[in-house]
């Protein structure tokens, strides 16, 4: 079943479904918004809401009981989501202009969530395996997040607020956890974990700070915090080593976008 609501001018929607009990809901308000949905399988569900001008969304779902939700408000935001498997969930929320989200999931019961508020933010989430979870929140302008997970039951969390911040998280294995938070300008966090039961935490407040965390093996732990400007931390842990060094910092304020906002935060 496909339901489309269009209000205003030159909006475009193409929805195609093969299988049983699939549902697609499309709601477009504004001008020159475009949406494309393709669903193969049974009991898949896609919901797209577009407000503003020249927003684009593409959804490809193959399998059963996959779920997609896209909300775009502003101008020239872009979403591209694909899921191959069963029981996967993907959510994109974009407020502002020229933001871009790419989500690719292959396997079963994976979840990807991306929220962007501002301009020219980029989020790329790629997951292969089962029961993986990727979450990205970006506030501000020109920020980038890249999350790549292979294996089962891995979790990656990225949060940043400011300008030109970058987070890269790469996990390969089982039950790894990575969390990165940044507030400021031109900060960078890189987290790489290979193995099982590894945990990495990175927290930066200020400008031009850099944290690099690499853990290979099982059950490693690292937590690193920086406050100020032009600081650098580099951590490498192999099997047989552990690190728990960090300083404590107060929690960062988590700003939220007003519903229906068409600009920055």
Give the Cα separation of 198 and 244 in Å (integer): 12
Between CA 150 and CA 25 the distance in angstroms is 31
Instruction: Write down the pLDDT at residue 245.
Output: 42
- Residue 167 backbone phi and psi in degrees, to 5: -130, 130
pLDDT, residue 253, reads: 45
pLDDT at 6: 52
pLDDT of residue 2: 55
What is the pLDDT at residue 10? 86
Predicted pLDDT of residue 265? 45
Task: Please state, as a whole number, how many other Cβ atoms lie within 10 Å of the Cβ of residue 251.
Answer: 7
The tens place of each residue's pLDDT in the chain, 265 residues long, gives: 555 555 557 899 999 999 999 999 999 999 999 999 999 999 999 999 999 999 999 999 999 999 999 999 999 999 999 999 999 999 999 999 999 999 999 999 999 999 999 999 999 999 999 999 999 999 999 999 999 999 999 999 999 999 999 999 999 999 999 999 999 999 999 999 999 999 999 999 999 999 999 999 999 999 999 999 999 999 999 985 444 443 333 344 444 444 444 444 4
Burial group, residue 156, by CB count within 10 angstroms (0-12, 13-18, 19+): buried
**For residue 239, what pLDDT is reported?**
85
Residues 6+ apart with CB under 8 A from 77: 52, 55, 56, 94, 96, 97, 98, 99, 100, 116
* Chain centroid offset of residue 259 CA: 19
The SS3 of residue 54 is coil
């Amino acid at each position: 079943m496909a339901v489309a609501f269009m209000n205003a001018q030159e909006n475009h929607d193409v929805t195609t479904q093969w299988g049983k009990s699939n549902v697609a809901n499309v709601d477009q308000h504004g001008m020159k918004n475009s949406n494309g949905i393709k669903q193969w399988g049974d009991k898949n569900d896609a919901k797209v809401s577009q407000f503003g001008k020249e927003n684009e969304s593409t959804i490809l779902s193959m399998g059963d009981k996959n779920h997609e939700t896209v909300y775009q408000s502003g101008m020239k935001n872009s979403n591209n989501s694909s899921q191959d498997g069963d029981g996967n969930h993907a959510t994109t929320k974009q407020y502002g202009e020229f933001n871009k989200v790419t989500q690719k999931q292959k396997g079963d019961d994976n979840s990807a969530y991306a929220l962007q508020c501002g301009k020219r933010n980029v989020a790329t989430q790629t997951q292969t395996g089962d029961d993986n979870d990727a979450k990205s929140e970006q506030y501000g302008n020109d920020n980038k997040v890249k999350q790549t997970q292979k294996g089962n039951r891995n979790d990656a969390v990225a949060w940043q607020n400011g300008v030109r911040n970058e987070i890269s998280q790469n996990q390969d294995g089982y039950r790894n956890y990575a969390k990165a938070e940044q507030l400021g300008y031109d900060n960078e966090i890189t987290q790489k974990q290979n193995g099982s039961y590894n945990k990495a935490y990175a927290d930066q407040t200020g400008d031009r700070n850099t944290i690099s965390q690499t853990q290979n093996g099982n059950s490693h732990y690292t937590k690193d915090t920086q406050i100020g400007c032009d600081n650098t931390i580099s951590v490498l842990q192999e099997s047989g080593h552990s690190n728990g060094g960090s300083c404590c910092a107060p929690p960062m304020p988590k700003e939220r976008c007003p519903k229906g906002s068409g600009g920055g935060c």
